[in-house]
A and B are shown apart, each in its own frame.
Chain A
């Protein structure tokens, strides 16, 4: 960090297991935490936990990714509360079953709204704040599912691919102000989202994932697979000829 003032991490979708683990990691490094989400009771608990465990300021902020009209006021509120420079961890997103998305267009539309539209609008609202502070880092949760559309979760994958494309331009824009942007192409993490699913490959605990994300967040930005094993795996999956890919049950 280019300043001695501790940064404040703004956790968007703070109730998710990955955000919770990352908030603990950041707090252990002395950062203040703003917990943004809808479940205020849960965020109060998390704020208390962070403050007690790590002695850092932590506070909940109401935030709804799908209520895009509220984003400007939300960002102003966060900027006012942050003691030092603001860093952002964007973790919100939903992953309904593909069959549900196929059956019910309203569920699919709501997912796109949360995973992509909400992310794009709140990041857009945050951009001027980040540009003005001329430092900081934005970490956003992408997914290996965004690398190639697979029958099992292509609608979800499409939202994450769109997010990645958005982040590429966003990163270029903010780089002029010295702000780094990192897209984590996440493999499955052992969270409530993946709990009911049959065993998934290379699953990691939220804690291990957060430790890796923290390490990457100290780097240059860009897009990174987490855990690393997904880099070669997705390399192979992306390069499979369509004829073969379509026959595989991935």
Chain B
């Protein structure tokens, strides 16, 4: 009876539409998987509350800027609550730097509004298009982690909308367990409706950035040790270099500058089309990486950079993720504790270099204190991050990398991940059990879910 089915389908679509739901296909930033679901995009609290009961008893997941890489913000066959239109700054204290925002406010908003007044987000991921709600849910970190910790460390309280419609203010004093579950909680404890955190004062809109070439991994680790007191530090590694050059790269160290730069004119370009799959191969990427290395003169370089340029180098090219072609890419990021981590770091780089699978620069970073969240990523140690195109064999490579990280007591960053195994996750995140207990108490029917939650047995 095809006619009845068509009619039924039309009636269902009509009912979804009337309730503000639209069928969409969401992707993570890595574009390696696509999730069909229903999505609502509330513009105010009243609409958000109305969207708490998606049709047909579907599960629900908040979705912010769409900048996490894998399946953490996807909910195949379920419902997604897009928070991007909830973008109001609700309060700001010019004495303390305390700010309250709705979840859809982005780091770009904060930079635009507050940098001219001498305030900067306490820490920031590598893209300004991430939302503050997402920054809490992924407990993100930046190039100043070794000094200031993760984003969650700067949060004073959160307003959290639970699946049953209650809004709770959670902090270290009120519902501290739920607070710790929500920081880094991947959106699985509710919808964050307001975030109070502290901005950091900066003397100008610019940094003094010193860059120098680093010949190999040992020199890199020594360079980071010397730069322990630097405000900002990050290393770019040529992940295809091998042998004596293994781990060669560029170390960037930056300090706030007292004198500012003229405000840059916004000139965003866009990666216009999806690149053909063959564009990135071991030869083209090797050539790019070598050029990148030589870009910095042998004697090093010192320059002034606007915070926007230093913190968000790729944001001037919109849709840069299309560079990896139709199949997309995966990002691998892990942190390895100091000590045993050094050998593991070498092993990771050897494995990646030997696989020879086109990978641009890897990012090496020293991390400081552990995060506050039950599922926070940060550990004191070395963090390594790199993109790998989604090609046949990539799963095997990731499994090997996961094993190396696991054996060294490291962990993989959920914000970037799309391939971690459930067993690996439960070993790397010792507080996952506690997280599940709290999740069970606020969401006994399991109304919040995600593709990642199902993959990692957190559903």
**A41–B20 Cα gap in the complex (Å)?**
21
B17 CB–A CB distance under 8 Å: yes
Closest Cβ neighbor of A42 among chain B residues: B44
Closest Cβ neighbor of A48 among chain B residues: B90
A45 surroundings in chain B (CB, below 8 A):
44-45, 88, 90, 102
Q: Which of A52, A100, A192, A196 has the most CB of B within 10 A?
A: A196
A192 touches B91 (CB 8 A): no
Which chain A residues in 6-59 approach chain B with CB under 8 Å? 15, 17, 20, 39, 41-42, 45-46, 48-49, 52-53
**A174–B161 Cα gap in the complex (Å)?**
48
B394 CB–A CB distance under 8 Å: no
Given contact pairs A15-B44, A45-B90, A52-B91, A197 touches B17 in the complex (Cβ within 8 A): yes
**A43–B351 Cα gap in the complex (Å)?**
56
Distance in angstroms from A92 CB to nearest chain B CB is 14
A196 touches B22 (CB 8 A): yes
Which chain A residues in 182-239 approach chain B with CB under 8 Å? 191-192, 195-197
A52 touches B113 (CB 8 A): yes
**A235–B44 Cα gap in the complex (Å)?**
36
Distance in angstroms from B116 CB to nearest chain A CB is 11
B92 touches A52 (CB 8 A): yes
A97 CB–B CB distance under 8 Å: yes
Interface residue count on the A side (C-beta < 8 Å):
19
B17 surroundings in chain A (CB, below 8 A):
97, 196-197
B268 CB–A CB distance under 8 Å: no
In the complex, which of the residues A15, A39, A41, A192 contacts B41, with contact meaning CB atoms closer than 8 Å? A192
Closest Cβ neighbor of B100 among chain A residues: A48
B102 touches A196 (CB 8 A): no
B21 CB–A CB distance under 8 Å: yes
A196 surroundings in chain B (CB, below 8 A):
16-22
Interface residue count on the B side (C-beta < 8 Å):
23
A interface footprint on B311-341 (CB within 8 Å = 1, 0 otherwise) = 0000000000000000000000000000000
B43 CB–A CB distance under 8 Å: yes
**A20–B104 Cα gap in the complex (Å)?**
15
Distance in angstroms from A221 CB to nearest chain B CB is 29
B46 touches A42 (CB 8 A): yes
Closest Cβ neighbor of B38 among chain A residues: A196
B45 surroundings in chain A (CB, below 8 A):
41-42, 45
A42 surroundings in chain B (CB, below 8 A):
44-46
Closest Cβ neighbor of B86 among chain A residues: A45
B436 CB–A CB distance under 8 Å: no
Which chain B residues in 1-60 approach chain A with CB under 8 Å? 16-22, 40-47
A17 touches B85 (CB 8 A): yes
A191 touches B43 (CB 8 A): yes
**A192–B85 Cα gap in the complex (Å)?**
10
**A52–B102 Cα gap in the complex (Å)?**
13
B422 CB–A CB distance under 8 Å: no
B88 touches A195 (CB 8 A): no
A17 surroundings in chain B (CB, below 8 A):
43, 85
A48 surroundings in chain B (CB, below 8 A):
88-91
Q: Interface residues, chain B, CB within 8 Å of chain A? A: 16-22, 40-47, 85, 88-92, 102, 113
Q: Interface residues, chain A, CB within 8 Å of chain B? A: 15, 17, 20, 39, 41-42, 45-46, 48-49, 52-53, 97, 100, 191-192, 195-197
- 21 sample A-B contacts, Cβ–Cβ < 8 Å, listed by A number: A15-B43, A39-B44, A41-B45, A42-B44, A42-B45, A42-B46, A45-B44, A45-B45, A48-B90, A49-B89, A49-B90, A52-B89, A52-B113, A53-B89, A53-B113, A192-B41, A192-B85, A195-B20, A195-B40, A195-B41, A197-B22
